[in-house]
Amino acid sequence: MENLDWKNLPFGYVPTKYNVRCYYRNGEWGELEVYDTPMFNLHIAATCLHYSQQAFEGQKAFKCPDGKVRVFRIEENARRMQATCRGLIMPEFPTDRFVEMACKVVKLNSEYLPPYESGASLYIRPLMIGISPQVGVSPATEYMLVMFVTPVGPYFKGGFSTNDYAIVRDYDRAAPLGTGTYKTGGNYAASLLANKMAREAGYTCEFYLDAKEKKYIDECGAANFFAIKNNTYITPKSTSILPSITNRSMQQLAKDMGMKVECRDIPVEELETLEEAGAVGTAAVISPIGKIKDLGTGVEYVISKDGKPGPICTKLYEKFRGIQYGTEPDIYNWMTVIE
**Residues annotated as catalytic (active site), given as ranges:** 183
**Is position 251 an interface residue for ligand PLP (rule: CB under 6 A)?**
no
Site string for ligand PLP, 282-321 (x = CB under 6 A): x---------------------------------------
Helix (H) or strand (E) holding 76: helix 74-87
Site string for ligand PLP, 265-284 (x = CB under 6 A): ----------------xx--
Question: Which stretch in 47-55, 89-97, 100-108, 278-286 sits in contact with ligand COI by CB under 6 A?
Answer: 278-286
The nearest distance, CB 123 to ligand PLP, in angstroms, is 11
Q: Which of 180, 236, 281, 310 binds ligand COI (CB under 6 A)?
A: 281
Strands (E), the chain: 19-25, 28-29, 33-35, 54-56, 59-63, 69-72, 121-130, 143-152, 163-167, 205-207, 224-229, 232-236, 260-264, 276-281, 285-294, 300-302, 335-338
Distance CA 145, CA 91 (A): 10
**Is position 58 an interface residue for ligand PLP (rule: CB under 6 A)?**
yes
DSSP character for 118? G
Instruction: Kindly tell me which of 13 and 40 has the beta carbon lying closer to ligand COI.
Output: 13
**Is position 219 an interface residue for ligand PLP (rule: CB under 6 A)?**
yes
Question: Which stretch in 20-28, 118-126, 215-223, 261-269 sits in contact with ligand PLP by CB under 6 A?
Answer: 215-223
Distance CA 166, CA 291 (A): 8
> Would you say 142 and 40 are in contact if contact means Cβ atoms under 8 Å apart?
no
DSSP character for 245? H
Q: Which of 204, 224, 324, 336 binds ligand PLP (CB under 6 A)?
A: 224
Q: Which of 6, 58, 64, 291 binds ligand COI (CB under 6 A)?
A: 58
**Is position 211 an interface residue for ligand PLP (rule: CB under 6 A)?**
no
**Is position 236 an interface residue for ligand PLP (rule: CB under 6 A)?**
no
Q: For strands 276-281 and 224-229, give the pairing.
A: antiparallel
